Amino acid sequence: MLDLDLVIFDCDGVLIDSEGLSGEVLIESLAEIGVTIDFDVFCTRMVGRSFPTVAAELRTRSGYPLPEGFEMQYRRRLLARFETELAPTMGVESMLDLLDLPVCVATSSSPERVRHSLGVTGLSDRFPHVFTASEVARGKPAPDLFLHAAARMGADPARCLVVEDSLPGLEAARAAGMRALRYTGGAHLRGRMLKHEADIVCFDDWRRFPAVIGA
Protein backbone atom coordinates (compact mmCIF):
# COMPACT_ATOMS: atom_id res chain seq x y z
CA MET A 1 0.00 0.00 0.00
CA LEU A 2 3.04 2.29 -0.02
CA ASP A 3 2.23 3.67 -3.48
CA LEU A 4 0.36 6.50 -1.78
CA ASP A 5 0.28 10.23 -2.41
CA LEU A 6 -1.85 11.17 0.57
CA VAL A 7 -3.34 9.84 3.81
CA ILE A 8 -6.71 11.38 4.65
CA PHE A 9 -7.68 11.09 8.31
CA ASP A 10 -11.15 11.46 9.70
CA CYS A 11 -10.99 13.44 12.94
CA ASP A 12 -13.61 12.33 15.47
CA GLY A 13 -13.06 8.77 16.62
CA VAL A 14 -9.81 8.48 14.63
CA LEU A 15 -7.42 11.24 15.64
CA ILE A 16 -9.32 12.23 18.76
CA ASP A 17 -11.31 10.02 21.11
CA SER A 18 -14.39 12.21 20.95
CA GLU A 19 -17.36 10.13 19.83
CA GLY A 20 -18.14 8.77 23.29
CA LEU A 21 -18.32 12.33 24.64
CA SER A 22 -20.39 13.46 21.66
CA GLY A 23 -22.88 10.67 22.22
CA GLU A 24 -23.21 11.38 25.94
CA VAL A 25 -23.83 15.09 25.41
CA LEU A 26 -26.30 14.54 22.56
CA ILE A 27 -28.28 11.92 24.48
CA GLU A 28 -28.44 14.19 27.56
CA SER A 29 -29.48 17.22 25.49
CA LEU A 30 -32.19 15.28 23.67
CA ALA A 31 -33.57 13.87 26.91
CA GLU A 32 -34.17 17.43 28.11
CA ILE A 33 -36.57 18.01 25.20
CA GLY A 34 -38.27 14.64 25.56
CA VAL A 35 -36.45 12.75 22.79
CA THR A 36 -34.93 9.41 23.82
CA ILE A 37 -32.17 7.60 21.96
CA ASP A 38 -29.57 5.17 23.23
CA PHE A 39 -25.85 4.95 22.54
CA ASP A 40 -26.33 2.13 20.06
CA VAL A 41 -28.59 4.33 17.91
CA PHE A 42 -26.05 7.13 18.14
CA CYS A 43 -23.21 4.85 17.01
CA THR A 44 -25.10 3.18 14.17
CA ARG A 45 -27.10 6.13 12.82
CA MET A 46 -25.19 9.31 13.70
CA VAL A 47 -21.45 8.74 14.01
CA GLY A 48 -19.62 10.05 10.96
CA ARG A 49 -22.49 12.22 9.73
CA SER A 50 -22.86 16.00 9.66
CA PHE A 51 -25.20 17.63 12.17
CA PRO A 52 -27.84 18.50 9.53
CA THR A 53 -28.00 14.79 8.66
CA VAL A 54 -28.22 13.88 12.33
CA ALA A 55 -30.99 16.47 12.81
CA ALA A 56 -32.94 14.94 9.91
CA GLU A 57 -32.58 11.47 11.45
CA LEU A 58 -33.83 12.79 14.79
CA ARG A 59 -36.77 14.51 13.11
CA THR A 60 -37.73 11.20 11.51
CA ARG A 61 -37.50 9.38 14.83
CA SER A 62 -39.37 11.94 16.93
CA GLY A 63 -41.78 13.30 14.36
CA TYR A 64 -40.75 16.85 15.22
CA PRO A 65 -37.93 19.18 14.20
CA LEU A 66 -35.34 20.06 16.81
CA PRO A 67 -36.22 23.30 18.61
CA GLU A 68 -34.55 26.52 17.57
CA GLY A 69 -31.17 26.91 19.22
CA PHE A 70 -30.74 23.19 19.99
CA GLU A 71 -27.69 22.74 17.77
CA MET A 72 -25.93 25.79 19.22
CA GLN A 73 -26.64 24.66 22.78
CA TYR A 74 -25.44 21.13 22.02
CA ARG A 75 -22.24 22.38 20.44
CA ARG A 76 -21.58 24.73 23.37
CA ARG A 77 -21.99 21.91 25.88
CA LEU A 78 -19.84 19.58 23.83
CA LEU A 79 -16.99 22.07 23.47
CA ALA A 80 -17.07 22.62 27.22
CA ARG A 81 -16.69 18.86 27.79
CA PHE A 82 -13.88 18.77 25.27
CA GLU A 83 -11.96 21.40 27.24
CA THR A 84 -11.48 19.04 30.17
CA GLU A 85 -11.96 15.51 28.83
CA LEU A 86 -10.92 15.31 25.17
CA ALA A 87 -7.69 13.49 24.29
CA PRO A 88 -5.99 12.16 21.16
CA THR A 89 -6.51 8.48 20.45
CA MET A 90 -3.80 6.48 22.15
CA GLY A 91 -0.56 6.37 20.17
CA VAL A 92 -1.62 8.64 17.32
CA GLU A 93 1.08 11.23 17.98
CA SER A 94 3.88 8.66 17.88
CA MET A 95 2.45 7.27 14.66
CA LEU A 96 2.42 10.71 13.08
CA ASP A 97 6.05 11.23 14.08
CA LEU A 98 6.98 8.21 11.97
CA LEU A 99 4.63 8.70 9.03
CA ASP A 100 6.54 10.03 6.03
CA LEU A 101 3.58 10.85 3.77
CA PRO A 102 1.47 13.97 3.14
CA VAL A 103 -1.59 14.06 5.39
CA CYS A 104 -4.81 16.01 5.81
CA VAL A 105 -8.05 15.86 7.75
CA ALA A 106 -11.50 15.46 6.15
CA THR A 107 -14.30 15.58 8.69
CA SER A 108 -18.06 15.93 9.03
CA SER A 109 -17.48 18.22 12.03
CA SER A 110 -18.09 21.94 11.76
CA PRO A 111 -15.03 24.15 11.15
CA GLU A 112 -15.34 25.55 14.69
CA ARG A 113 -15.52 22.13 16.30
CA VAL A 114 -12.57 20.63 14.41
CA ARG A 115 -10.38 23.69 15.10
CA HIS A 116 -11.26 23.46 18.78
CA SER A 117 -10.74 19.70 18.90
CA LEU A 118 -7.34 19.74 17.23
CA GLY A 119 -6.27 22.69 19.35
CA VAL A 120 -7.32 21.15 22.68
CA THR A 121 -5.53 17.89 21.86
CA GLY A 122 -2.35 19.57 20.58
CA LEU A 123 -2.75 18.23 17.05
CA SER A 124 -3.31 21.52 15.18
CA ASP A 125 0.29 21.88 14.04
CA ARG A 126 0.27 18.34 12.69
CA PHE A 127 -2.56 19.11 10.28
CA PRO A 128 -2.31 22.43 8.45
CA HIS A 129 -4.76 21.10 5.86
CA VAL A 130 -8.27 20.49 7.24
CA PHE A 131 -11.40 20.08 5.12
CA THR A 132 -14.96 19.94 6.44
CA ALA A 133 -18.35 18.91 5.11
CA SER A 134 -19.34 22.59 5.01
CA GLU A 135 -17.15 22.93 1.91
CA VAL A 136 -19.07 20.44 -0.24
CA ALA A 137 -22.63 19.90 -1.40
CA ARG A 138 -23.02 16.44 0.12
CA GLY A 139 -21.45 15.02 3.25
CA LYS A 140 -20.46 11.42 3.93
CA PRO A 141 -21.45 8.81 2.73
CA ALA A 142 -21.23 10.74 -0.54
CA PRO A 143 -17.65 10.92 -1.90
CA ASP A 144 -17.64 14.72 -2.24
CA LEU A 145 -15.57 15.57 0.82
CA PHE A 146 -12.80 13.08 0.14
CA LEU A 147 -12.62 14.04 -3.53
CA HIS A 148 -12.49 17.70 -2.51
CA ALA A 149 -9.63 16.99 -0.11
CA ALA A 150 -7.68 15.06 -2.74
CA ALA A 151 -8.15 17.81 -5.32
CA ARG A 152 -7.04 20.52 -2.90
CA MET A 153 -3.98 18.45 -1.95
CA GLY A 154 -3.13 17.68 -5.58
CA ALA A 155 -3.47 13.92 -5.10
CA ASP A 156 -4.87 11.21 -7.35
CA PRO A 157 -7.87 9.63 -5.56
CA ALA A 158 -6.62 6.19 -6.54
CA ARG A 159 -3.41 6.92 -4.62
CA CYS A 160 -5.15 8.15 -1.46
CA LEU A 161 -5.73 6.20 1.73
CA VAL A 162 -8.60 7.11 4.04
CA VAL A 163 -8.54 6.21 7.73
CA GLU A 164 -12.07 6.16 9.11
CA ASP A 165 -14.01 4.79 12.05
CA SER A 166 -17.56 5.14 10.72
CA LEU A 167 -19.54 3.22 8.14
CA PRO A 168 -20.60 6.42 6.28
CA GLY A 169 -16.92 7.39 6.06
CA LEU A 170 -15.90 4.00 4.71
CA GLU A 171 -18.72 4.15 2.17
CA ALA A 172 -17.60 7.63 1.11
CA ALA A 173 -14.01 6.46 0.63
CA ARG A 174 -15.13 3.56 -1.52
CA ALA A 175 -17.36 5.84 -3.61
CA ALA A 176 -14.39 8.18 -4.11
CA GLY A 177 -12.26 5.32 -5.47
CA MET A 178 -9.89 5.45 -2.51
CA ARG A 179 -8.46 2.74 -0.33
CA ALA A 180 -9.67 2.73 3.26
CA LEU A 181 -8.79 1.34 6.67
CA ARG A 182 -11.07 1.24 9.68
CA TYR A 183 -9.64 2.43 12.99
CA THR A 184 -11.52 0.74 15.82
CA GLY A 185 -9.53 1.92 18.83
CA GLY A 186 -11.91 4.70 19.87
CA ALA A 187 -13.91 4.27 23.08
CA HIS A 188 -17.20 4.24 21.14
CA LEU A 189 -16.27 1.08 19.22
CA ARG A 190 -14.75 -1.01 22.00
CA GLY A 191 -16.73 -4.16 22.66
CA ARG A 192 -19.22 -3.45 19.89
CA MET A 193 -20.25 -5.78 17.09
CA LEU A 194 -18.73 -4.11 14.03
CA LYS A 195 -20.36 -4.30 10.63
CA HIS A 196 -18.61 -3.41 7.39
CA GLU A 197 -17.66 -4.87 4.02
CA ALA A 198 -15.63 -8.05 4.33
CA ASP A 199 -12.60 -6.60 2.56
CA ILE A 200 -12.18 -3.67 4.96
CA VAL A 201 -9.00 -4.00 7.03
CA CYS A 202 -9.40 -2.95 10.67
CA PHE A 203 -6.86 -2.08 13.34
CA ASP A 204 -7.24 -0.76 16.87
CA ASP A 205 -3.65 0.19 17.75
CA TRP A 206 -1.70 2.95 16.02
CA ARG A 207 1.50 0.96 16.55
CA ARG A 208 0.18 -1.42 13.90
CA PHE A 209 -0.43 1.30 11.33
CA PRO A 210 3.02 1.21 9.63
CA ALA A 211 2.73 -2.55 9.16
CA VAL A 212 -0.84 -2.29 7.90
CA ILE A 213 0.15 0.16 5.16
CA GLY A 214 3.39 -1.70 4.38
CA ALA A 215 5.77 0.97 5.71
Catalytic residues, by residue number, are 10, 12
DSSP symbols for the chain: ----SEEEE-SBTTTB--HHHHHHHHHHHHHTTT----HHHHHHHTTTS-HHHHHHHHHHHHSSPPPTTHHHHHHHHHHHHHHHH--BPTTHHHHHHH--S-EEEEESS-HHHHHHHHHHTT-GGG-S-EEEGGGSSS-TTSSHHHHHHHHHHT--GGGEEEEESSHHHHHHHHHTT-EEEEE--STTTTT------TT-EEES-GGGHHHHTT-
